Amino acid sequence: MGRALRADAERSVRAILEAAETVLAEDPGASMEQIAEAAGLARTTVHRRFANRQALVQALAASAKEQLTAALDDAHLETAPPLVALHRATANTLRVKGAWQYTLGNPLALNDTAKEVWSEINTRSLAFLARAQREGVLAPDADLEWTRRVYYALVTEALQGPGAAEDPTTENPDTLATRIIDTLLHGAGRRH
């Protein structure tokens, strides 16, 4: 019986988090009651799982950032050929960030857990870029910290910049990943 309750509690938490992301993206001032309604749960269930709104926002951040970590794991940054790993990491990241735009863009969600996850993601990103540089994908003199920042900016701009909602490529993470990587590696300059 205990297992069923844990599984039930897990489903409730997942439903609450997904509903909260959707509701808060549309209305950042939405109440816990509105989130409960969207999740198809009683308000008391939401309050039992999350004592207050801040606890819910922190749980959203932890969940979204854990999914980003899993997206990088799935890209096999340490072992896959660099261009394959970069494309897969980019497409996976676009999927996660597209689904969690409210949470990942919310400064209130930067709790200690989230900061640890971001630190891990940044460290892994730099290690991957160093590997890509050693294997000739990036110029030997490329500033890797700057490259990481530009890459993050391209991903963010692709999802949230002016016109992003109207850009048909945002609906296909693989196509958008190709555009981001092409821009990162080749810029807008003339190709020889």
**pLDDT beyond 60 at 184:** yes
Read off the pLDDT of residues 90-128 as tens digits, 9 standing for 90 and up.
999 999 888 887 887 776 666 677 777 788 889 999 999
The model's confidence at residue 10, banded by pLDDT at 50, 70 and 90, is confident
Q: What is the mean pLDDT of the chain?
A: 87
- Asked whether residue 192 is assigned to any structural domain, the reply reads no
Same domain, 70 and 28: no
- Residue (of 147, 149, 169) closest to 158 by Cα position: 169
For residues 122 and 144, the answer to whether their CB atoms sit within 8 Å is: no
Q: Is 91 inside any structural domain?
A: yes
Which CATH number characterizes residue 128's domain?
1.10.357.10
Same domain, residue pair 16 and 77: no
Return the pLDDT at 2.
45
Query: Does residue 84 surpass a pLDDT of 80?
Result: yes
Query: Kind and range of the H or E element at 186?
Result: helix 173-186
CA distance 71 to 66: 9
More confident of the two residues 148 and 187: 148
